[in-house]
Amino acid sequence: MLLGIPCLTSLDTANALADIIESRFNEGNTELVDINAMRAWRQKIRFAKMQSCGNDCIFVENFDGAITCPESLCVELCRLHYGIGGDGIVLIEKSRVADVRMRYFNRDGSEGRMAGNNLRCVAKYVYDKGFVRAQVMSVETASGIYHLRLYLRDGKVTTVSADMGKAAFASSAVPVTLDAAEVIDMPATLAGESLNITCVNVGNPHCVIFMDAIDALDISDLGPKYEFAPIFPERANIEWVRVINRSALRLRVWERGSGETLACGTGACAAAAAAVRLGLCDEGRDINVKLPGGDLTVNVKNDRITLTGNAVMVFEGEFEY
């Protein structure tokens, strides 16, 4: 079979092949590959490796729309030792509704809706490269438009503050299928274990678990079991959180589609929003969120979240595609 079409070996069946192809188009199946339009050689594509608190991704300009299959490209590029290595890839594209558009793909090739660290890195990239020369800019994502403020040193962006919008605690917004309007410090069973969870959407779904100790957890084992738990129809990012004091949290994160990462911007936002909702941290006060890769600052007021942190260019290069 080729593209779902039976292999034909006789010249006498050429007409039958044409009839099959025509019928596929008549049925609305327009995904057949035109082999005459395929490239005859591999093309070279520029990229930038950027990170925030160790959360590293591969950033590629796609203003001309030349990259049409980012899912498979992501899997290859993110492979440690065999590719560039990273937590995912980010395509920077034109937008009709904002200064620029960001598309993010997890390490497993699945498309993510939002990524707070990548959002800030995109802002640094387009400013430093001269595409958008404004210290206040907007970025379109699959979760909507986000507004950012850039802070400079020697003419380049070092820190970015992002308005992450409002935390959505409604079960239908997360989504989570437990029988409650909101899942706030609610008992649940994940991978056969009973524990209290708080679920929130901050551009993507999160499950926050507050614990006294998080260092000894085997997240490589727990992460995928929790991520794919039946109560999360769209999977979930998982945060294990220890409260240090009313203005500081320690956090470990399992990102859906990527695994445990050194940092997660939306994970920091989810943890802080949950801590404020539960009265563990103070509303309207900067919360220092400590992740394995570094610190982020989150402020939550009336469920509206501001995320501040660094954005770093690691290196630039070129790959064949």
Is 38 or 211 the better-scoring residue by pLDDT?
Answer: 211
For residue 200, give every residue at least 6 positions away whose Cβ sits within 8 Å of its Cβ, in sequence order, or none. Answer: 167, 168, 169, 174, 206, 208, 270, 273, 274, 277
**Containing H/E element for 78?**
helix 70-78
pLDDT at 163: 98
The one-letter amino acid at 296: L
Residue 2's φ and ψ, nearest 5 degrees, are -130, 115
pLDDT at 100: 98
Contact 237, 86 (CB under 8 A): no
Residue 166 has pLDDT above 70, yes or no: yes
Mean pLDDT for all residues in the chain? 91
Phi-psi sector, 285: left (phi>0), alpha (psi -120 to 50), beta: beta
Q: pLDDT band for position 252 (50/70/90)? A: very high
pLDDT tens-place string over residues 4-14:
444 444 454 55
Q: How far is CA 304 from CA 163, 167, 183, 277, 307, in A?
A: 8, 6, 18, 12, 10
Residue 107 has pLDDT above 80, yes or no: yes
Q: Domains of the chain (ranges plus CATH)?
A: 44-163+312-320 (3.10.310.10), 186-302 (3.10.310.10)
pLDDT tens-place string over residues 116-151:
999 999 999 999 999 999 999 999 999 999 999 999
pLDDT at 2: 42
Angle at 140 between CA 289 and CA 119, to 5 degrees: 30
Section 42-65 average pLDDT: 95
pLDDT at 5: 41
Cα–Cα dist 154/137, whole Å:
19
pLDDT at 43: 81
Beta bridge partners of residue 149, listed in sequence order = 136, 161
Residue 91's φ and ψ, nearest 5 degrees, are -95, 130
For residue 69, give every residue at least 6 positions away whose Cβ sits within 8 Å of its Cβ, in sequence order, or none. Answer: none
pLDDT at 25: 55
pLDDT tens-place string over residues 281-311:
999 999 999 999 999 999 999 999 999 999 9
